[in-house]
Amino acid sequence: MTDLLSPGEFIKQRWKVIRKIGGGGFGEIYEGFDQETEDNVAIKLESASQPKQVLKMEVAVLKKLQGCNTICKFFGCGRNDNYNYIVMSLQGNNLAQLRREQPRAIFSHGTLLRLAYQILQSIEAIHAAGFLHRDIKPVSSGI
């Protein structure tokens, strides 16, 4: 399957695609650059032809959770004939990448406790906003 966007393309003449940083059954995630704020952003896309459209719900949840310090910032969303998109703050490397960079490729106990606390805060915020996340899974050992 070909990527929905290529480096150098723009969304709404505002967000410039820098590179693809992830993808899978959920869609594609790109690092982008916001021409207006001059900040790097994350751009999540789903194909407009995808049978199960989930980005609309993600937008609703993210908008409702703005102001929570464990939730990324929402910048914009939209759609065209090829894809639906959401633009949010870029959070940095994923946990798997960060873990691989550690000595022996494992987090310290202190880091694990801080991560667990932040994850539980995020889940609590989602629940307090009236949403139930029905796809929380344990992670592989070492994280």
The answer for residues whose C-beta is within 8 angstroms of residue 7's C-beta and 6 or more apart is 17, 18, 19
What's the rounded Cα separation, in Å, for the pair 51 and 132?
A: 22
What's the rounded Cα separation, in Å, for the pair 66 and 126?
A: 11
Active-site option among 3, 39, 81, 135 = 135
Q: Which amino acid is at 114?
A: R
Please say if 81 is a catalytic residue: no
Collapsing DSSP states into helix, strand and coil, what is residue 70?
coil
Catalytic residues: 135
